[in-house]
Structure 1
Amino acid sequence: MLSILPISVPQAQGVEAEIPIWEKIDWTPEIEQQIYKDWGKYYSRRRRENIAMHYYDKALQLSNDDYMTLYHRSQSKRKTAKTLGALEDSLEAKRILRLKSVVNAPINLEVCDALYELNQFEKAKAELHNNKRVFTGNKTKAFEDRLIVVDENIKDACGDGLSPFILENERMMSHVKDLLNEKFKVDNRPLWKILKEQNKCDILSIPECKEELLSPLEIARRKRAFDICYQVYIDKSWIDILFLKNLKKGFQIISRR
């Protein structure tokens, strides 16, 4: 018996691409937005963050005040090192909740995590302390754990971890500190007084040129020797040399005045 195989018909030019069946169904905006959000979570769990963010974007186009979609998109952005965008999404979700007079521990924690990954330890520490006062019970545990990590990072940067380095390079650091203080110090004294202390001058000085005194016979002899030398060795170009010499002499006279 002959088996009938499905024939793949090439798509005609100018015809729109095939639309998935589920997109042909007339979903309500709420259901469609939920579908996009679920697909975003599905792909995010499988580490396909680019596709996940694509569906989160489509979900937010249908409902831009959905704070949970912003929260999940913030997590996806942090996974792909787009931390600044993650902070913007989490702050926007927090702002929407504030308008509704609602607080959400995971969203506030996402703000703290984004600040920490941006190396803004002081702001992250302040946010963690504020959230410790807002929430109670088990919700504060995550903030307390992260606060320990932030405190250790700050301690390593400014505390015991930096002390040995400062002790070893104390002399050099004091010199650098003096240079920086000197650079940013504003001196309101007149310029001539500042330059006087530095053994400098605030005007353009021209060194005095000693004039050579020659007899008329020596002047004529040198002039004749100059002309003969350049006429012999440079041929017709000696006139240009003579012109440049006179031009240089004229500049020297003007500069003395």
Structure 2
Amino acid sequence: MSAPELAWQVVRDIGVHQLRHGNVGGAIDSFTEASPRVSEDDESMVVLKTRAQLKYCEALPALETIRNARKYPGNLLHCRALYETGDLEGHLLASANGRRHQHPAGGHRQQDFTDEVDLALSTFDCTLGDRAGASLLEYQHQFPAIVAEQRELRQRSADRPRWKILAEAGECDVISLLETVRKEPPLREQVRRQKNKQILGQIHLGRGWEDLMFIEELLLSGRHGPVVQLPQTRQSSRAMAQLVDECYTKVSGRVRLSQACFPMYSQRHGRFGPQTNHRREVHEIDELLKFRYRAYRAVYNQFDRMYELREQGKTKELLRYGGDVLDGFFKTTTVRVLPEKGKLVREVCNLIGLTILDGLRIPPRLMDAPPDRRLMLLFAVPPAKETLVVAPVFGDISTYRDPTEPDHDYLSYKIKVAELERRYQRVQYPIEHCLIDYQMARQHLLNGWLDDVKVMGNRMIDEAIACGSHLWQLIGLLTIAQAFCAQNNLEQLAVQLRAAAKLVQSRLPDERIAFFVEVSQKLNRDLLMKKLAHSLELESTLLA
């Protein structure tokens, strides 16, 4: 045996060894290297390469490789490649021709083609059924006319401007706009799509569905995308991103093909039978009651936790926990699963509002504080942030401040407000607007943006009036009063306190809150009298 013949056989054996041990990509390269040295009549190398490509989920290259095969098992792999590419009609035709041309009439080769024909027929039965298949056979003579009509429409549209075509269809040419608005699906729709994707993965991939979900999280738009696309390692990040995209494209394409060949409705029909026995409706009701039981159990556990936080007086933790519950659980739970969803959402918001009013207490050492600080102490206004000036000391690195370093506190504040604004756009019930307005007002107050606090307070009052909540209307009035107190605007503070006292007296008769508002008015009145006396004294001094 000559050296060239021995060389390509060694390369072929290396490819077989790589394919046996799972190195499919290396096996394809080895078979590609050895293919030019094989004669055209020998289809063994083509068969090996096609098997490797099908195992590597490269259906189209495998079809191009095995297209001209004439003998067994090449023609059998050609049928399999047609099925993997989704050409079901071509697969059925090639399988039937292979079974007819295969000699002898019996044996394992004939049985292989028979299995392919049975697979094709069962796929058509699962995808079309009796009615759709009969309808397609009945109107198949009209298909060429429909294809010609569609081709004519495409040729006609290719010669005309896009805006004319869309204008006749009553649509807008968004490509010509400077800014394209990308509307994201609602949170519930995102969760529904994710759940459907998991179900399809569990059906068609088995235990491998978790790997598909993990690969999806590694995409650039996934949760772990920034970990893959590190800016510090551009070359390796680019290679890793390409590998992740290739894996996800292959696996997701295989799942879509499996779903197209064996769809969910066919599985339901095989599980429950025809619709006349109503087994599917009974099963759906049973599953709905199970989900409803789980939902109500989760709601009761959440309310137990919130009542516990209220008894402990942890307003911040309750605000955080209640906001997460409203934005997570109640956004993804439908009214079909939770019929009293609106009532429960209002109860959550009112519970948080009552906890906020529980914090309106008169401090024990209120009268020990200076008169100018008593209102600030009563309304629990946080002190203004002061910029800490550190004198740099030569050689002491702890005193060095980078002038280009961003203000992390301000960035954290803007991120929290932006998240609340996004949550504000997704709310379903008006009373949730009041809660989010209060959370944004609280963030503005903690960071010293008092004018924004008043804007949020006025918006809270408008939303409370719209939904008929006197509780949140009072919280809005007290929030604005808190901002005026921080600004030392005593005149406007008196107006807000009078409105709050009137609302408490007429709509929310509570002795503790009424006493709190009365004490606030008394302290504000004392400061106004002191301010008036000081102005009169100053005026008399100037006149003298």
Name the TM-score class by shorter chain: 0.3 to 0.5
More helix by share: 2
Q: Which has the larger radius of gyration?
A: 1
User: What TM-score, normalized to structure 1?
Assistant: 0.47
User: What TM-score, normalized to structure 2?
Assistant: 0.23
